[in-house]
């Protein structure tokens, strides 16, 4: 169909299979291939035409989690090997951060922000981006004024917050923000523990801590206990005005507003 001379067709096909690490599989039928191998065949069929830009529309959506993560690594390696631009469409935020050199976040047909993965995660431009890419805490209004000194809205990532048992009376410093509250929920995630804290200032914050030493019993025992939350002021990210209105709340976790 592409009018490639017959002498070039097989070498081109074998080259495409080698690119997706399927050399020696050319004689196999589809039912003899695994899900990941079939996905790589689909990539080979696109790459054999040697496009300058390759559009991938949720190519890993039908794969299980383990295979999807393996294919993410392989796709990154393929992109470096073939040296062409991949336009990768996905609803999976983790996948977008993993796969991309540059990301555009769309909302209702409009671009909210275009940035590198690090910029997008560490410095989201709007409340929507902060909540859509990963998990983020949003502070605004009176609670934000008392805790960070600005009406906001501002964003603080859950892993930037340090949780310590008990309420500490002292306030934050020039370099540090501080808030106190009561743990209302604890979710054990294996490698980490997620704690939801109802603030004394009103509203709530979500905290994620790596399980370096704590056990499941220790983590769950925090529920209902008073705690103090601290984070570096450098980790407070001011957010711009969102494209669409955001329901005003004193303080909230973005998990509640998605």
- Residue 100 pLDDT > 60: yes
* Domains held by the chain: number: 2
In a domain, 113, yes or no: no
If asked whether residues 154 and 63 sit together in one domain, one would say no
In a domain, 124, yes or no: no
In 3D, which of 250, 253, 20, 30 has the Cα closest to residue 151?
A: 250
Segments forming the whole domain that contains residue 173: 136-256
In 3D, which of 249, 257, 255, 256 has the Cα closest to residue 144?
A: 249
- Residue 160 pLDDT > 90: yes
pLDDT band at 214 (very low <50, low <70, confident <90, very high): low
Rounded distance between C-alpha atoms, residue 153 and residue 246, angstroms: 10
- Residue 117 pLDDT > 80: yes
If asked whether residues 78 and 145 sit together in one domain, one would say no
Other CB atoms within 10 A of residue 199 CB: 19
Record the pTM: 0.72
In a domain, 16, yes or no: yes
Q: Which residues partner with 216 through β-bridges?
A: none
Task: Render pLDDT for 161-203 as a digit per residue (tens, 0 to 9).
Answer: 999 888 876 666 778 999 999 999 998 888 888 999 999 888 8
What would the two tokens of residue 127 be?
Answer: 């409340």
DSSP for residue 19: H
CATH of the domain at 147: 2.40.50.140
pLDDT band at 219 (very low <50, low <70, confident <90, very high): low
DSSP for residue 145: H
If asked whether residues 92 and 193 sit together in one domain, one would say no
In the predicted model, what is the mean pLDDT of the chain? 84
For position 226, what pLDDT does the model report? 92
In a domain, 131, yes or no: no
Rounded distance between C-alpha atoms, residue 239 and residue 133, angstroms: 14
- Residue 256 pLDDT > 50: no
In a domain, 248, yes or no: yes
If asked whether residues 140 and 94 sit together in one domain, one would say no
Are β-strands 162-165 and 176-188 bridged in parallel, bridged antiparallel, or unpaired? unpaired
- Residue 231 pLDDT > 60: yes
CATH of the domain at 75: 3.40.50.300
pLDDT band at 248 (very low <50, low <70, confident <90, very high): very low
Contact between residue 183 and residue 196 where contact means Cβ atoms under 8 Å apart: yes
In a domain, 122, yes or no: no
**Of the candidates 51, 80, 99, which is a domain's last residue?**
99
143 preceded by a cis bond (ω within 30 of 0): no
Who wins on pLDDT, 256 or 214? 214
Give the CA distances from residue 166 to residues 17, 162, 224, 229, in Å, rounded to whole numbers and listed in that order.
Answer: 60, 13, 11, 10
Binning the chain into helix, strand and coil, the percentages to the nearest 5 are: 35, 30, 40
- Residue 36 pLDDT > 60: yes
Give the CA distances from residue 24 to residues 46, 127, 214, 247, in Å, rounded to whole numbers and listed in that order.
Answer: 19, 50, 49, 57
């Amino acid at each position: 169909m592409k009018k490639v001379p017959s002498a070039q067709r097989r070498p081109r096909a074998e080259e495409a299979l080698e690119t997706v690490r399927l050399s020696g599989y050319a004689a196999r039928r589809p039912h003899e291939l695994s899900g990941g191998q079939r996905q790589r065949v689909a990539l080979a069929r696109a790459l054999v035409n040697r496009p300058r830009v390759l559009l991938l529309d949720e190519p890993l959506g039908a794969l299980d989690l383990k295979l999807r993560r393996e294919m993410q690594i392989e796709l990154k390696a393929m992109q470096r090997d073939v040296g062409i631009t991949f336009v990768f469409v996905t609803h999976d935020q983790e996948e977008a951060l993993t796969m991309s050199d540059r990301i555009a976040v769309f909302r209702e047909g409009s671009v909210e922000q275009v940035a590198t993965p690090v910029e997008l995660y560490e410095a989201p431009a709007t409340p929507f981006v902060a909540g859509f890419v990963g998990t983020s805490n949003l502070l605004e209004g009176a609670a934000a004024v008392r805790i960070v000194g600005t009406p906001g809205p501002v964003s603080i990532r859950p892993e930037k917050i340090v949780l310590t048992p008990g309420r500490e009376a002292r306030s934050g410093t020039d370099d540090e923000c501080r808030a106190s509250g009561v743990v209302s929920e604890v979710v054990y995630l294996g490698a980490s523990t997620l704690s939801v804290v109802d603030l004394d200032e009103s509203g709530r914050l979500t905290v994620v801590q790596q399980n370096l030493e704590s056990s499941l019993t220790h983590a769950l025992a925090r529920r209902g206990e008073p705690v103090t939350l601290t984070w570096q002021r450098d980790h407070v990210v001011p957010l711009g005005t969102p494209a669409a209105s955001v329901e005003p709340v004193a303080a909230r976790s973005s998990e509640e507003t998605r």
